[in-house]
Amino acid sequence: MGPRTRVHGSILVVGASGILAPAASVLVSRGAAVTGVGRSRPMPDGVEAVHVDARDLGALDAALGSRRWDAALVYDPAVTESTLPRLAAAIDGRLVRVRTSAAADPAHGEPALLADTLQLGWHEEGDEVRWHTPDEVSAAALVVFDDGDPCTLGVVRPWERRP
């Protein structure tokens, strides 16, 4: 594991009103200026809201303008191949991607874990098989955010056990 580099500056969180809401709240409690991107739901306390569909390049570009952030947490289903580079261009430091289990589908081959990536799987304990909660996803995303080391939350094999 690399050195821990807690960012306290400005942080963009795409998915801050949903699965990454707990992460956005923790970042605010650390003293960061957090901007949350989401379509319409309320943001956690202390998070500046940018209500836009991050999959719409024109709308995203208009909403973000020339603003810049020190780092970002991005929930992959909330962006597209055309909007992710737009977000990355506004980030001066680390951009952590949170990928769903779909990225680990065996049809795509073995998933490659790149730096600054959280690969989501599912939780298995005995006969219990379930998706991870927003708190679990956010906690794991913050570990990757703090050190850059990629990881998989839960398991992604055997694929047939997916909830």
Write down the residue that tokens 């594991």 correspond to: 1
Provide CB contacts within 8 A for 119, sequence distance 6+: 99, 101, 103, 104, 111, 113, 150, 151, 152, 153, 156
In a domain, 1, yes or no: no
pLDDT of residue 50: 96
Answer yes or no: is 2 within a domain: no
User: Mean pLDDT throughout 133-159?
Assistant: 96
Residue 72: which H helix or E strand, with range?
A: strand 71-75
Give domain status of residue 5, yes or no. Answer: no
What band does 6 get if pLDDT is binned at 50, 70 and 90?
Answer: low
Q: Which of 14-23, 43-52, 69-78, 103-112 has the lowest mean pLDDT?
A: 103-112
- Which pLDDT tens digit goes with each residue over 61-114? 999 999 999 999 999 999 999 999 999 999 999 999 999 999 999 998 888 888
pLDDT at 12: 98
Determine, yes or no, domain membership for 3: no
Contact 24, 47 (CB under 8 A): yes
In this structure, what token pair is assigned to residue 147? Answer: 């050190």
Bridge partners (DSSP) listed for residue 10: 33
d(CA 122, CA 6): 27
1 pLDDT above the threshold of 70? no
pTM of the model: 0.92
Domain count for the chain: 1
Angle between helices 21-29 and 134-147 (to 10 degrees): 50
Instruction: CATH number of the domain at 132, please.
Output: 3.40.50.720
Residue 146 lies in a domain: yes
In a domain, 142, yes or no: yes
Range of the domain at 142: 10-161
- Classify residue 40: in a domain, yes or no: yes
